[in-house]
Every structure is written in C-alpha cells, then in structure tokens.
Amino acid sequence: MRIVVDTGNHIAAKAVQMARVDVVAAYPITPQTTIVERIAEYVEKGEFHGDYICVESEHSAMSACIGASAVGARTFTATSSHGLLLMHEMLHWAALARLPIVMANVNRAIGPGWNIWSDQNDSISQRDTGWIQFYCSSNQEIFDTIIQAFKLGEHEKVQLPVMVNYDGFILSHTSLPVKIPEQEEIDEFLPKRKIKWKLDINNPITHGNIIMPNDYPKIRRAMQEAHENAHGIIKEISREWEERFGIYHGELLELYKCDDVDYVLLSMGALGAESKVAVDEMRKKGRKIGLARVRVLRPFPKKEVIELARHSDLIVIDRNISVGMEGALFTEIKASLYGEVDAKVYGYIAGLGGKDVTFKDISKMCERVMDGKYGGYMIFDVEG
Amino acid sequence: MGERKLVEIRFHGRGGQGAVTAANILAGAALRDGNKGVQAFPFFGAERRGAPIRAFARISDEEINLRSEIYNPDMVIVLDESIMEIANVLEGLKEGGAIVINTTKSCSDYDFPKKLTVATVDATGIAIKNDLLVGGIPVVNTPILGAIPKVLDKVTLESIEEEIRERWKGELGERNARAAREAYEKTEVMR
C-alpha cells in the first residue's frame, strides 16, 4: 500500500486501470476530461490492458459500453452534466439489459446559464434509470468505490450498472492523499468478471427483443429485487474492503458522531465531508448533532434512515433541486419515514452551480433549526 | 508557523507559471513530512496563460474534511511580483501570517498594513541561472517552493526536493531541486 497525492479524476483513472477494465468508451467534457485524458495516457504508454474506443458523443459512448458489456467485457465510461443527459436513453437501456457497466459522473450544473461547477442535478435527473448511484466525499472514496462498483454490479444477484458520482472541481481537480493497494491485492478483491450470459457469434442468442405486456412487469420486478439485493451486498463489500485494506467509508450511510443526538444532519458528496467539520464545531458548543452522509441514493437506504429518525429529528441539505418540489434527498427521506416514524424533517438547498458551502454555512442552517427558527424550506444561497 | 494545526496557503501567479503544480508539490512534500492532511486545488474555473491566477493548499496534522474554498489564508505565496499591482494579495490574509514574494527587493522594502512575516527571494533569477525556462519564460514555481520551509515548519526542504525529483526524473528533476535549494539558501526573512 502506497500513498499518492493526486486529483479525484486522476485517482478515478488509476482505479479503472487497476480494476483491469477491458473497454473504455468515453467522450470528454469539463470537469470530467482529465479522467479520460489520463486513461488515454495509460493506453499510449502501454499501461492499460483494455481497449479505448473514441466516440463522437456521450450517447455513442454509452451505446459502445452496452455492446462491450454484452459480449462480456468489463466496461467503464466517465462523463458529466450535459454529457450524462445526452446518455439518458442508453442509461435506461444499460440498466434494463442488466449490464454491469461502471461510470464515473463528475457532478456539474446544467445550463443555461453555462456553468461548469458542482451541482447534483445531472445525476439526480437520472435517478429513475435503474442505475445504482454512489456519491463520494474524498478521493480515497472515489478510488475505493470505483473498484467496489465493479464487484457490486457484476455480483450475480445484482447485475446492474453503477454510477459513481463526485463533485466537479471540489474533488475532480483537488489533490488529496489516497492509499493505493498493490495490484495483486486488487486482483484478489476483484477477480475477473463472471458472465451469466453474453452475445457470442459462435453461440447466437437474442437479447432485448419485444416483450409482451404480460411479461414486461417481471423484468421490472427483477430489477427492483436486484436493487434490494444490492442493499445487502454493498454492506458486505464495504466490510470486506475494511478487512482487506483497513479503509471504511460507511455502508449506504456513513454515520459520524450519531450516538445520543437530538438531530442528525444528512447530505451527499463533498458537502458530507464539510458537514463533519460543521458537526465538530457545533458539538464544541454543546449541540447534540451528528451526521449521516448518504453514500448511496439508489438503492435508497430506507431502513437506515428510519432507524436514525427513531431517535432524532433530521436536517437535510441538498445540492440539487427538483424544481416545482424540493431537493431530491429531502423528498426521499420524508417518503421513507411516512407511516413508520414520526420525526421532524427540515430541508435546505445549498451549493447549486458550485456556490461554495462552508462549514459555517452548514452550522448556520442547522443552528437555525435547533433554535426553533427554521422558517421554512429555502435555497440558502439566495435567501441566506 | 509550525504551531498552527491547520495551515491554509494561497498562491498568486500568472497562468503558465506553474502555481497549481507548486501547490501540488507542496502538498506532496507535506505528506512526506508526516502531515496526515494535505490538499491542493486550483481556482475552480478557466485559466489563461499570462492572466492572474490563484491556487491553494492546506496542510494539517489531521485528515482534512474541509471542501470549501480558502478565504483567510495563513500564508500567501506571490510567484510574480507584478501581480501585486493588479490583485490584492493580502485579501483575507490572517494577521500574524506570512507572505513569500518572488522579487529582487529586500523584505524591508515592503511595508504592509498587517503584522506579517515577510520572505523574499529572487526566484526568477535562480530559474534563469539554472536554465529553467519554458518557451523562454523562467519557471519560478520550483525555486519559490524552496523559500517556504524558511517560514513554515510543517514542510522541510528535503521533502520538497524529493517531491520535485519524483515528478521530474533525471537531470531536469535535479536542476529543479537544485533551484529550490538555492532559493532556500538565499531567502531573506523578516519577522
């Protein structure tokens, strides 16, 4: 195990190399570009064993990944923002075809106005495609999650694509220390992909053909079951990683100082790391508050959120907005609790379009709730 | 400035001078020196050659969970003296902090409205002397890094040299490391 200091994007490329990916098909877009540039450098230097397919758009990138994965290849792509949106049709296809493609999505705002900075609206709007979704808060977590994502997606009880999200610039272009295991250790953790079925010219089958109304609900049911299975397998994989490498980022939630608290703060991505600093500061002032960083949005950690709400009220900060309603995480959490437990849930939106959110901002939002001055749901950056 | 648990650093330079690389080398060197938390990041946005740019680093004894920007640095590094005419390099700099300037001037030539440790070094001259030129422009980022251990206990010159040698193998790395050492020896500090 060695420690390197590098950007989230370079670390993502390292994970792809060490996962022994067979096929990468990708198209550059800020702030993702340095992932595919680095992978291309590996190819040029002969340090990448797989094939790199240059494509003319993100829609083609995902289509190429679908083809590659369907013939049994371990497949990766990376994108961001408008690139992810252009993939939308094929994201559904990849999930319904049950292909364990792994994608890094560097969270970036949607335009217009043109904005290249961190915002989760790109991935939130792909929530219903059937992909498993992770949100990372450090470069170490990016490395570990990409490797784990292959194991998870390729698991025989899952067979689903996995999206590993992290904040544009805040992680993609920020250098942080990352522990990198030896290649043999990664190989032991992540053996070659086991294939349940594949497209094979020597053994022709068809896949994805017309399916009549009587049967279609069954494939949706099977996907739902696969997500339910993934819920448990994510936990197993997190623990296995900890046993092997001594690194633990939590399971579907990362709980930080959540024992004996009146309030739990929930957030995703880099906001979840900054929130730890906010929790430390608030606890110094005697506030009984902890943090549950949501690592996985799909499958949603419903049971875990209900457990938290049995003992505390919840404060949610979203870096996204489902316009006309509220932040997505806020909605999901309230929906999880309905009919189960009667906790109060308070929501804020902060950090859209890369607006900086400091631990002081986070403390201010939480303290307003704890002091009985919540004042209703709002976009913190605008209404302060 | 070794007694501070977390040190936040802002680099001012011009696009192409290697401020972002300097921040990264500093973070790598700080990790070698046993600081568990290190971080380096550019200004989040577009950069153009020659335009004023900023880069940032954090160094701490503990893992760093901060992901927000730096508003009140403990230290400012000025790679290009002419930036000081067009940018307020003192913005947010903490009282009792430090400023490192690439200049042929002496520390006593500066009179800042804050209580600061001032360090000066002719990084441009050292770059030219060591033939560190890219497209005819002196590369000042490696020499100026040599000045930092003079004012910051958290990082040693030896670690900066090692980090430089790892980044540029062979003779180029040696020349850059030599420039850093020369800068270290020639840095003038006024507390």
pLDDT of residue A344: 97
Summarize the confidence of residues A234-256 as an average pLDDT: 98
Burial class (CB in 10 A: 0-12, 13-18, 19+), B85: exposed
Beta bridge partners of B7: B59
Cβ pair B39:A175 closer than 8 A: yes
Summarize the confidence of residues A53-60 as an average pLDDT: 97
Residue the block writes with tokens 């949501």: A294
Which of B28, B44, B65 is the closest to A169 by Cβ?
Answer: B44
Residue B169 contacts A, CB cutoff 8 Å: no
pLDDT of residue A94: 98
Cβ pair A276:B68 closer than 8 A: no
CA-based angle A58:A63:A64, to the nearest 5?
A: 95
Q: How many CB atoms lie within 10 A of CB A325?
A: 9
Residues of chain B neighbouring A281 (CB-CB closer than 8 A):
none
Tell me the per-residue pLDDT of B166-184, one tens digit each, with 9 for 90 and over.
Answer: 999 999 999 999 999 999 9
CA–CA separation, B182 vs B146, rounded Å?
7
- The backbone region for A29, taken as left when phi is positive above 0, alpha when psi lies in -120 to 50, beta otherwise, is beta
pLDDT of residue B49: 77
Summarize the confidence of residues A46-54 as an average pLDDT: 95
CA–CA separation, A242 vs A233, rounded Å?
14
**Correct CATH for A2-245 of 3.50.50.60, 2.60.120.10, 3.40.50.970, 3.40.50.150:** 3.40.50.970
Q: Percent of chain A scored above 90 by pLDDT?
A: 95
Residue A356 contacts B, CB cutoff 8 Å: yes
Tell me the per-residue pLDDT of A270-289, one tens digit each, with 9 for 90 and over.
Answer: 999 999 999 999 999 999 99
Q: Please, which residues have CB within 8 angstroms of residue A223's CB and are 6 or more apart in sequence?
A: A95, A96, A98, A130, A160
How close A13 comes to chain B (CA, Å)? 18
Token pair in block for residue A4: 């390197």
Q: Average pLDDT of chain A?
A: 97
**Is the CB of residue B101 less than 8 Å from the CB of residue B118?**
yes
Summarize the confidence of residues A157-186 as an average pLDDT: 98
Burial class (CB in 10 A: 0-12, 13-18, 19+), B47: middle
Kindly list the structural domains of chain B, giving each domain's residue range(s) and its CATH number in brackets, ordered by start: 6-190 (3.40.920.10)
Residues of chain B neighbouring A170 (CB-CB closer than 8 A):
44, 67
Helix (H, G, I), strand (E, B) or coil at A204: coil
B 65-94 near A (Cβ less than 8 A):
65-69, 71
Cβ pair A176:B64 closer than 8 A: yes
Summarize the confidence of residues B57-76 as an average pLDDT: 97
pLDDT of residue A320: 98
Residue A350 contacts B, CB cutoff 8 Å: no
Residue B31 contacts A, CB cutoff 8 Å: yes
Comparison of pLDDT for B85 and B47, the residue scoring more: B85
Residue A116 contacts B, CB cutoff 8 Å: yes
Residue B40 contacts A, CB cutoff 8 Å: yes
Residues of chain B neighbouring A270 (CB-CB closer than 8 A):
67
Confidence of residue B1 (pLDDT cuts 50, 70, 90): low
Cβ pair A169:B28 closer than 8 A: no
CA–CA separation, B26 vs B9, rounded Å?
10
Summarize the confidence of residues A195-207 as an average pLDDT: 91
Residue A232 contacts B, CB cutoff 8 Å: no
Cβ pair B67:A176 closer than 8 A: no
pLDDT of residue B180: 97
Residue A276 contacts B, CB cutoff 8 Å: yes
Sheet holding B52-60, edge to edge: A2-7, A175-180, B37-42, B52-60, B6-14, B75-78, B98-102, B117-121, B188-190
pLDDT of residue B50: 79
pLDDT of residue B111: 94
B48 pLDDT above the threshold of 80: no
CA–CA separation, B125 vs B102, rounded Å?
9
Same fold, A2-245 and A253-383: yes
Helix (H, G, I), strand (E, B) or coil at A11: helix
**Is the CB of residue B54 less than 8 Å from the CB of residue B10?**
yes
Any idea where the domains of chain A sit in the sequence?
A: 2-245, 253-383
- To the question of domain A253-383 being in CATH 3.40.50.920, the answer is yes
Residue B135 contacts A, CB cutoff 8 Å: no
B148 pLDDT above the threshold of 90: yes
Confidence of residue B16 (pLDDT cuts 50, 70, 90): confident
